């Protein structure tokens, strides 16, 4: 084997190594990104999207009169898989709240409808336009509405704790015209109503 052939082999080997390292780096970045969302979901800035707090919204097929927790998921969202177990738990623990999962994204209606089945009775794959109307730009995301369907809370929510925080925010009464989760009203999940450092989801407008 001459020198030129050796160099050609070395170049090919180096290219292969570089490609493998690039794929490995992408995989690590993906895992780190997912971990950051789970550990600090509001840190990614998603609370800048979504409907404005205190605005009244309409949901197709859902009359006003009961509080509602509206979660948004998409077929391509890896973190949304956590909602598949969290949503049934919220439905069971907060029967006074209507819980809906709006499926957005996807290639077509059939894909959205199929994905919506993962959330049982809560899944809605037939109203993807709601995401655009409410300015929801990514998933997982959740919006909490009071009984008059005014926005009380919004933010990234991909765990049971996040969703329960949303649920507590919309069933607790407002204090002096402010959101029940603002100020020193505590952690409703632990039966304590004092301390904003325990909030699990960032409330827009605070």
Type and span of the H or E element at 104 = none
Domain count, the chain: 2
Distance CA 170, CA 154 (A): 11
Residue 70, SS3? Answer: strand
Highest mean pLDDT among 17-21, 23-27, 100-104, 177-181: 100-104
Q: Answer yes or no: do 62 and 28 share one domain.
A: no
Q: Answer yes or no: do 16 and 100 share one domain.
A: no
- Tokens 């605005």 label which residue? 55
Distance CA 152, CA 16 (A): 53
Residue 193 pLDDT greater than 50, yes or no: no
Domain range for 73: 47-198
The pLDDT of residue 29 is: 52
Largest CA distance in the chain: 85
Q: Answer yes or no: do 54 and 143 share one domain.
A: yes
Q: Answer yes or no: do 53 and 20 share one domain.
A: no
pLDDT mean over 119-139? 94
Give the pair of three-digit tokens for residue 29: 């970045």
Q: Answer yes or no: do 95 and 60 share one domain.
A: yes
Kindly report the CATH number assigned to the domain that includes residue 92.
Answer: 3.40.30.10
Query: For residue 81, what are the contacts with CB-CB under 8 A and spacing of at least 6?
Result: none
Residue 123 pLDDT greater than 90, yes or no: yes
pLDDT in tens, 21-40: 877 775 555 454 444 444 44
Give the least confident one: 21-35, 49-63, 142-156.
Answer: 21-35
172 vs 181, which has greater pLDDT? 172
Give the pair of three-digit tokens for residue 79: 């973190």
Structural domain includes residue 204: no
Residue 123, SS3? Answer: strand
Query: What's the Cα-to-Cα distance from 50 to each of 139, 140, 172, 182, rounded to whole Å?
Result: 11, 12, 21, 18
């Amino acid at each position: 084997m001459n020198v030129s052939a050796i160099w050609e082999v070395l170049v090919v080997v180096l290219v292969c190594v570089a490609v493998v390292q690039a794929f490995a780096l992408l995989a690590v970045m993906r895992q780190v990104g997912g971990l950051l969302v789970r550990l600090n979901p509001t840190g990614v800035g998603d609370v800048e999207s979504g409907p404005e707090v205190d605005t009244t919204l309409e949901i197709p097929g859902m009359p006003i009169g009961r509080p509602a927790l509206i979660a948004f998921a998409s077929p391509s969202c890896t973190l949304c898989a956590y909602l598949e177990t969290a949503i049934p738990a919220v439905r069971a623990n907060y029967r006074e709240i209507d819980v809906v999962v709006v499926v957005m994204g996807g290639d077509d209606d059939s894909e959205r409808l199929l994905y919506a089945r993962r959330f049982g009775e809560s899944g809605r794959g037939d109203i993807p336009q709601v995401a655009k109307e409410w300015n929801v730009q990514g998933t997982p995301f959740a919006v909490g509405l009071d009984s008059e369907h005014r926005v009380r809370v919004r933010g990234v929510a991909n765990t049971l704790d996040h969703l329960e925080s949303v649920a507590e925010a919309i069933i607790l009464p407002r204090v002096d015209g402010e959101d029940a989760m603002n100020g020193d009203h505590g952690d409703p999940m632990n039966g304590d109503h004092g301390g904003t450092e325990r909030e699990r989801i960032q409330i827009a407008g605070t």
